[in-house]
Amino acid sequence: MTTLPWRTAWTIARRDLSARFRGLRLLLVCLFLGVGAIAAIGTLTGSIESELGARGREILGGDIELKVWQRGFTGAETAALARLGKVSQGLRMQAIASRGEATAPVALKAVDGAWPLYGRLELVDGRRVGAPPPGTVWIARGTAARLGVGKGGRIDLGGVPVTVGGILLADPEQMSEGFALGDTAVVPLDLPARAGLTTPGAMYRSVVRVRFADPLRDPDPVVDRLKDRFGESAFDTRTRKGASPATGRFVSRMGEFLVLVGLAALVIAGIGIGGGVSSYLEARRTSIATLKVLGATSGDIARIYLLQVGAAALAGSLAGLAAGVLVTPLLASALQSLLPVQTGFTVSPVALATAAAYGLLVALVFAAPPLVRARGWPAMALMRSRVSPLAADRKALALPVGLGLAAIVALALANAAQPLVTLGFLAGSAVMLGLLALIGLGIRKLAARLPRPRGPMLRAGLANLHRPGAQTGALVTALGFGLSAFVLIAAVQTSLEANIRRTVPDRAPDFFVLDVPRDKAADFRDAVTQTVPGAAVKLVPNLRGRILAYGPKEAMTKVSSLGKDLPDGAWALRGERGLTYSVAVPEGSTVTSGKWWPEIYRGEPLVSLDQDLAATIGLKVGDYVTVSVLGVERTARIAALRRIDWDSLGFNYVLVFSPNALADAPHNLAATIEVPGGAATAGLLPRLVRAFPSSSVIETGSLLRDARDLLDQMSAAILAAASVAVLAGLAVLLGAIAAARASRTYDTVILRVLGASRRQLLVLQMAEYGIICAVLAVVALAAGSAMAWAVIVELFDFTWLPDWPRILAVLGAGLALILGFALAGSLPLLRAKPARALREL
């Protein structure tokens, strides 16, 4: 028998295909939701990463940047950089701005006349400026509001009076500067020295940026040559290619996570796709049988309806892609402080191609079973499919479903920054969906074996859960996954908030103070206790250093040899870190291995490490660590490993040395101040600013507010992705109603003929979907709570403190939405005319 050519098959398919895709609208909706979510997330992530790359010079402020702590650049280093092009030098540090009794912490940026090498600073009055004139400062709007000052006003910085020359609107280098305890304040290069902020031991960074004479010059070889000449540990370096690595990593990983959540939603939508295609083919069973009677082969049937489904899938995917592109500016605006990059209307071909590929592959996987069922049965079997349901050929399904699933996994791994995490997420989602499918099957089996209720409507509703063609399994799987995600988010968010409320007020200090002079420690303590009687003051030595090497003394591993491939959790090896020394075990630490040094110790320099870092990089007691402090290498033997209580928000140093290892290095002290409950602190900051102008005082309240804001925005991003999963589940619900419409219409008509009222039929629908919602409530609450517990306790190591009323409210809202959609989707059945329906059956 001759097979129809593709062109002829498309002619038949096109004639039978409605211009408005009647019958396949569920497939369009499901793909629109899933593809649109992935396209929006991918486009936003791609546009941010593209902007980071395109604006690398402007964000970094040069082609290359070099930084050193607590010292200036040597003459040789400066001369070598000057040969590369134009050079701009600067300083970065924490400081306090004051005006009368009002104070504000600022991130002080001291710049020379060549700054900025790229772009210009923008002020709120529209001016585009460079370095401020002598005696002048550019300040942020937050600082101006806190101090109650405007342009032309006078403030003090580190005890030096300056004039506010303008208010900052946008600083293009903000992302590259990193985290700071305060808003930016730009001052001339000489001000920190005049204010005493760069005395030996002070915490400051010297920054040099270079604009190449040749703009096309590759910065990476230049940096490599500088490190070869001056040493791998001489300075921290960055190039325009990685102007904001922390932002890039965050955007990439957050985007990857949201894409995976979107993919899970698309898989849920796939269940609806399968139901929609089944319903569509069921409505065309007579046409399929007629084609077979006229000589069409199984392959012809497959081609015709594959083309129809493919056309609908392509239309739904294209609509989703368009929606994803259009919604990207709205997402960027909603997450502007979480993802601090201005993005507009952008198109990312890679992101759109990936989203379309996901959508079409999911459509293939879930549309294959009903298509295989339709192609493989003879005409008479199709004619009597209502009483003899079609069964799928499992062997024929293996190829399209297996290849589709393999392609989805391969595509996800190919775009993954962390393949193992991605694989774990996919495996976990598969297990979750599998468990929900088993629960759905169990519900059908249990409903079939339960005693029949006496009420006829409740009895009919229970029967609908296990009758032939019932969609109970698909509904529990799809809707249960979405609702579980809602419970997960609500439980994690409320537990984190409860941990913050419970832990921070009791254990976090009220103030952090940096750069307290060692010779004025007693004066500092007196100033605090005289102003706030009963306040607890803790002072610790505070230095900066970089880990250069670690391991057994005769076979130490150089950090420089690891390149960028640092082990997960080895963040302390990246750049310079805080260091301290102590006679006793620091508060908040517990020795878990080894022995602490005695109070009076003059032997070999010793160090204690965080046990998690030691486990990550394979260190044990007796090994050695070499650090660079102010350009001097110091090696110490590991005497003890500690478990650090990070929740205390106090001084938690990864590396704590014996006093004889670091005490001779120039350094200042850091302090924490804990105020008794109810004590007035209004006069503390002004007194400390006047008495210690070179010190920086930071209140913890603003930091915690920023942390909560960040948490809320991350929760909003995840909630938005989870909402797509719930919407996809609702689409599956409507698809299940549509797929069973013929049989439901038959049942409804028979009941109407037997005298059932519309109210009774509505009660029947309420009973069926009410039972499903009750089961979904239990499943979602158990599954979502279990996953949230794992995240809070095992991942974050916090206490499990969920707010059950809020969680139940979120779950209840989701269930009410599902029940409302279920009843709305069933209303057309109640309007069916018995005479007309009986003629069409």
User: Cα–Cα distance between 14 and 304 in angstroms, integer?
Assistant: 9
Q: Which residue has the tokens 């200042």?
A: 668
pLDDT above 70 as % of the chain:
75
Look at residue 260 in the predicted model and tell me its pLDDT: 65
Q: Which residue has the tokens 């229970």?
A: 462
Look at residue 650 in the predicted model and tell me its pLDDT: 62
The mean pLDDT value for 479-491 works out to 77
pLDDT above 90 as % of the chain:
9
Burial 464-491 (b: 16+ CB within 10 A, else e): bbbbeebbbbbbbbbbbbbbbbbbbbbb
746 versus 809: the higher-pLDDT residue is: 809
User: Cα–Cα distance between 360 and 517 in angstroms, integer?
Assistant: 65
pLDDT digits (tens, 9 = 90+) for 497-552: 777 666 554 556 778 888 888 888 999 999 888 888 888 888 999 888 888 899 99
Look at residue 685 in the predicted model and tell me its pLDDT: 79
622 pLDDT band, cuts 50/70/90, is very high
Poorest-pLDDT segment among 314-328, 595-609, 638-652, 806-820: 638-652
Predicted confidence (pLDDT) at residue 32 exceeds the cutoff of 60: yes
Q: Which residue has the tokens 């102003």?
A: 531
Average pLDDT, the chain: 78
Predicted confidence (pLDDT) at residue 351 exceeds the cutoff of 90: no
Tokens at 297, concatenated: 């082969």
Predicted confidence (pLDDT) at residue 775 exceeds the cutoff of 70: yes
201 versus 233: the higher-pLDDT residue is: 201
The mean pLDDT value for 373-379 works out to 66
User: Cα–Cα distance between 625 and 608 in angstroms, integer?
Assistant: 10
- Return the closest-CA partner of residue 439 out of 395, 486, 469, 484: 484
Look at residue 86 in the predicted model and tell me its pLDDT: 92
Poorest-pLDDT segment among 3-7, 268-272, 374-378, 453-457: 374-378
Predicted confidence (pLDDT) at residue 341 exceeds the cutoff of 60: no
Look at residue 658 in the predicted model and tell me its pLDDT: 93
387 pLDDT band, cuts 50/70/90, is very low
pLDDT digits (tens, 9 = 90+) for 690-731: 888 888 887 766 556 665 665 665 566 566 656 666 666 666
Q: For the residues of 668-696, what is the DSSP string, one character each?
A: EEEEEEEPPTT---TTHHHHHHHH-TTSE
657 pLDDT band, cuts 50/70/90, is very high
pLDDT digits (tens, 9 = 90+) for 546-573: 888 999 988 898 887 777 667 767 778 8
User: Cα–Cα distance between 310 and 473 in angstroms, integer?
Assistant: 26
pLDDT digits (tens, 9 = 90+) for 37-73: 778 777 777 666 666 666 667 777 788 888 888 888 8
Helix (H, G, I), strand (E, B) or coil at 541: strand
117 pLDDT band, cuts 50/70/90, is confident
Query: What dihedral angle (degrees, nearest 10) is formed by the CA atoms of 169, 171, 177, 183?
Result: -20
Poorest-pLDDT segment among 266-275, 436-445, 446-455, 524-533: 266-275
- Return the closest-CA partner of residue 742 out of 279, 275, 392: 279
Helix residue ranges per DSSP H, 335-418: 349-375, 379-383, 394-414
Predicted confidence (pLDDT) at residue 751 exceeds the cutoff of 50: yes
The mean pLDDT value for 198-211 works out to 86
